[in-house]
Amino acid sequence: MSERETPLSPNPSSGGASLEPSPTIDPANLPPMPATPIPPRKSSSDEDAGVNEANEKLANASLLEDLPLTPIPPPDFNLLPGDDSLKKQETSVKQPVAAFSFNFDKADDSEDDAIVVEDVSDDDEDEDDVDDEEEEGVPQDIMSMFPPKVVRRVNKLKELHSQREEIMNEYLVERAALEKKFAVLCKPLFEQRLDVIEGKLDEEIEKNAETDAEQEEEEEEDEDEVKGIPQFWVCAMGHMEAVAELITQSDVDCLEHLRNVTCDDDDDGCGFTISFHFGPNPYFTNTVLTKKYQIPNLLLEDEPILKNVEGCTIDWKAGTSLTYREVTKKQRSKSGRKAGQIRTITKRERTDSFFHFFTPPKMPSMETMDEEEADAIEDAFDHDYDVAQAFRSHIIPKAVLWFTGEVRCC
């Protein structure tokens, strides 16, 4: 039967096999059919391409309003046969949507609770701070919290502490005396050290030395006679990192004339002076450069608080300053009567040098400094004092070990 032929149906009234045409159906009255993608056929490549194109157009079309979409209700697990516990277990497994339900009232309550807890913790910290202030500032109030028996016991501890302080004061006095005593004993040794460095004991040392014939021949062949120990102090300083980082090559040439470095503690134990002794040199006329520090007590183990720092003025010879240099620049006047004329300007520029050590940092007014400037000034004073202690406690007493490099530290 062709697509245009009208289908025939039997006529029940005739009782025979006569057939009558069925009523014609209008396609416009048919209900809309759901859009179903046409599966591609594998008969030929051309047909497959056409079907795939149709499927793509159908997928991109916005037919959601025309499609008969009906929500599918979730299954009722209470109708499952068997044990009730099994039903509940199935429900908990089959319905994970409940895990994503949001109860905003509960969330708000928990947030409020968290805030209350945080406030309580802050209050506790504030109370602890108040207690600490009471312990440090008003000890009498703390003592009033204890019964009289405990107060008497605490007073006994204070008596013991006072006795201990008296003993420690005696210790500091005796230690200061010992420091002076042994400083006097060591002074002749440091003087002999200076004689060896400067070559004053060369002949005496050679007389006492045991040399073989080969070594004597080698020494006779040496044309240049070396006196003492050249560059002793500059080599010793170069092995101390805190000091070496301040020394430039120009400083080395000047420090070759350094004869000795000494340190003298004040009689009251509240400071010390470091002295650098120089021989004749082409840089300055000073024979001694000094740096003086004043602190509460040299014998205390606590970190010292600098009370005052004093340097000295270096009398540089003309054109030999290692701390500043004169720079000559030519400038052209841009305005005024001398516009277009060239003038020569000489400025002083700061240069890196160890000899800035003798010019201590300046302390500006605290009212004019901000926090960063105050920190920078504090760091400068700390580093300056570290360099001084490097000389006082390390380089001066153990100079030969620093010269040979047997000891090193920052």
pLDDT digits (tens, 9 = 90+) for 388-398: 999 999 999 99
Helix (H) or strand (E) holding 21: strand 19-21
199 — pLDDT class (breaks 50, 70, 90): very high
Q: Say if residue 140's pLDDT is above 70.
A: no
Q: Say if residue 44's pLDDT is above 90.
A: no
Supply the range of the domain harboring residue 277: 229-404
Question: Any idea what the CATH number is for the domain that residue 330 is in?
Answer: 3.30.1120.90
Cα torsion angle, 356, 358, 359, 362, sign? positive
Choose between 187 and 51: higher pLDDT: 187
When mean pLDDT is compared across 23-32, 194-203, 346-355, the lowest value belongs to: 23-32
184 plus 327 within the same structural domain = no
Residue 269 within any structural domain of the chain: yes
249 plus 344 within the same structural domain = yes
359 plus 249 within the same structural domain = yes
pLDDT digits (tens, 9 = 90+) for 265-291: 988 888 999 999 999 999 999 999 999
Q: Is 54 helix (H, G, I), strand (E, B) or coil?
A: helix
Q: What is the DSSP letter of 284?
A: B
When mean pLDDT is compared across 132-141, 320-329, 392-401, the lowest value belongs to: 132-141
14 — pLDDT class (breaks 50, 70, 90): very low
Q: How far is CA 357 from CA 56, 260, 365, in A?
A: 85, 17, 22
Q: Which of 22-36, 66-80, 96-110, 376-390 has the highest mean pLDDT?
A: 376-390
Residue where one domain finishes, among candidates 142, 158, 186 = 142
How many domains, the chain?
3
Token pair in block for residue 27: 């396609």
Other beta carbons within 10 angstroms of residue 401's beta carbon come to 15
91 — pLDDT class (breaks 50, 70, 90): very low
pLDDT digits (tens, 9 = 90+) for 54-86: 556 555 554 444 444 455 555 554 544 444 444
Residue 153 within any structural domain of the chain: yes
Residue 59 within any structural domain of the chain: no
Alpha carbons 259 and 276: distance in angstroms, whole number: 8
Residue 14 within any structural domain of the chain: no
pTM: 0.60
Choose between 331 and 405: higher pLDDT: 405
258 plus 395 within the same structural domain = yes
Question: CA 407 from chain center: how many Å?
Answer: 29
Residue 42 within any structural domain of the chain: no
Residue where one domain finishes, among candidates 214, 241, 257 = 214
Residue 323 within any structural domain of the chain: yes
49 — pLDDT class (breaks 50, 70, 90): low
357 plus 400 within the same structural domain = yes
Residue 298 backbone dihedrals phi, psi, to 5 degrees: -70, -20
274 plus 343 within the same structural domain = yes
160 plus 138 within the same structural domain = no
199 plus 284 within the same structural domain = no
52 — pLDDT class (breaks 50, 70, 90): low
User: Partners of 310 in the beta sheet?
Assistant: 292
198 plus 293 within the same structural domain = no
pLDDT > 90: what percent of the chain? Answer: 39
pLDDT at res. 4: 45
Residue 40 within any structural domain of the chain: no
339 plus 375 within the same structural domain = yes
138 plus 151 within the same structural domain = no
Alpha carbons 41 and 201: distance in angstroms, whole number: 114
386 plus 243 within the same structural domain = yes
Residue 321 within any structural domain of the chain: yes
